[in-house]
Structure 1
Amino acid sequence: MTLAIALEPAPIETDAHGVVRVAKTRVTLDTVVTAFLEGCTPEEIAEQYPSLQLPDIYLVIGYYLRHRDEVHTYLVERQRQTDAIQQEAEQRFNPIGIRDRLLARRNQSR
């Protein structure tokens, strides 16, 4: 009996916004890699994200382990983008004192 050896590509793809997602789901590469780095097993990740298949999680982790530098660079850039978006949102919609402003508005309408 012979065993067919086939390379399985990592089930990741980049969406229209440049976000790398896993296996045609909304789960991002960031999510899986971060969970793995925080000590979650692939089985625990599968429990947390039921839209992911366990073999796909193993393939994604394998991809990360073989391409640490590239994935790390991608994750750093994603964090930079996230921070910039959050900073812009906070400048446009100042969260400080929002509760007081909402309560004052509610009291004015009474």
Structure 2
Amino acid sequence: MARKTYSEEFRRDAVELYRSTPGATVVGIAGDLGIMDGTLSAWLKAAGVEVQRRPGGRSGPPGPEGETPEQELARLRARVSELEADQRKLNSERDILRAAAKYFAGETRW
């Protein structure tokens, strides 16, 4: 298999995506970007970013029927925060993919 080379901009964007995404994992970000997790780990290490074990799971089903209004409010606020983080992640990934598509379109020789 041929070794892939990535632009410096793509590397910086991938590192920034990891930094700016709460709850993200190296494996999750690498899978989303279509790169090996070891590659992303090396980029993070080179950028001086500490790789931490982060929970990557989604929240479960809504709470029990007998929860108090305060508990429901706390649960819903946590869910809103999670959805906002997902939206930021998706927006960043979209921007990275657009930049990658633009880069590779310029590389094409028809």
Could you tell me the TM-score, scaled by structure 1's length?
0.33
Using CA pairs under 8 Å that are at least 6 residues apart, name the structure with larger relative contact order, 1 or 2.
Answer: 2
Larger gyration radius, structure 1 or structure 2: 1
Taking structure 2 as the reference length, the TM-score comes to 0.33
